[in-house]
């Protein structure tokens, strides 16, 4: 059994502030170690339950956060960027399941460090009329390859968001939001224990029993993205095929979800120039 792990940092226990999520932040080094520890717990649980291969994609910021020298020796790491599928780089139809570790809630909700892809640029994203955060968008990408997302870890808002998108998914809430930059956190060893157990159950029970179905979106796949200001929308409109919906919102649709997603990312990158 092959397991794919997409790992972010904002949903890691103990991470609550930008000083921990940026390479320039004074507390970034400690956050990297905490992130690596929770990823290792997910790897350990998957392997204990019978996984034969685990591939980890570093999915935060520069995508060079996980400490490879401290990563579980049986895991393979995709690191660096930019990457064509960003947070889902490496996913393919040969995987039996996907885990999302350290994920955060979408923009506009009350989760810790909430945002969607780019907090500076994106006010919200919808796919075929439904608003999603990174959890939903990335689950759709996994579903494009027939891969179910069977485990999501992060704060309590992220867990609830995942359950609303992916019926039957296992979740681990490693912290509870108190404000956007504050949370009641589990001690790291406790968080890792819960992640390890949930990962093992997901592989041992949820995958063989088909308890979580791959997320499949209809065609065409139409993304709508709302920006923070009109200048950002002006820049994003340079993407061929992008359509202006209103002053702040653009849409892009295509029969292939991957093409639509790449256009979405291109719009976000262009908008970030402003």
Q: Hey, CA dihedral for 135, 165, 199, 147, is it positive or negative?
A: negative
Catalytic residue flag (residue 228): no
Contacts of 189 (CB under 8 A, 6+ apart): none
Of 104, 115, 228, 254, the active-site residue reads 115
What does the alpha-carbon distance between residue 148 and residue 272 come to, in Å, rounded to a whole number?
32
- Residues with active-site annotation: 115
């Amino acid at each position: 059994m092959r397991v794919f792990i997409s790992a972010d940092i904002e949903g890691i226990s103990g991470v609550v502030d930008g000083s921990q999520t940026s390479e320039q932040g004074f507390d970034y080094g400690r956050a990297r170690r905490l992130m690596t520890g929770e990823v290792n717990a997910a790897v350990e649980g998957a392997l204990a339950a019978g996984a034969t291969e685990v591939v980890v994609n570093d999915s935060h910021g520069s995508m060079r956060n996980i400490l490879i020298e401290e990563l579980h020796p049986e895991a393979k790491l995709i690191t660096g960027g930019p990457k064509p599928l960003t947070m889902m780089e490496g996913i393919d139809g040969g995987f039996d399941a996907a885990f999302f570790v350290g994920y955060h809630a979408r923009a506009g909700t009350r989760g810790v460090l909430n945002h969607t892809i780019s907090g500076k640029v994106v006010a919200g994203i919808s796919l075929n009329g439904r608003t999603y955060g990174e959890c939903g968008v990335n689950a759709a990408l996994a579903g494009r390859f027939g891969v179910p997302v069977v485990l999501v870890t992060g704060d309590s808002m992220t867990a609830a968001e995942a359950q609303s998108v992916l019926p039957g998914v296992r979740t681990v809430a490693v912290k509870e939001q108190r404000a956007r930059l504050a949370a009641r956190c589990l001690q790291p060893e406790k968080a890792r224990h819960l992640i390890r157990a949930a990962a093992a159950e997901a592989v041992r029970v949820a995958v063989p029993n088909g308890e979580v179905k791959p997320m499949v979106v209809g065609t065409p796949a139409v993304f709508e993205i709302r920006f923070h200001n009109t200048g950002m929308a002006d820049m994003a409109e340079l993407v061929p095929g992008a359509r202006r919906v209103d002053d702040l919102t653009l849409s892009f649709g295509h029969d292939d979800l991957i093409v639509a997603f790449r256009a979405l990312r291109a719009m976000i990158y262009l908008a970030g120039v402003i």
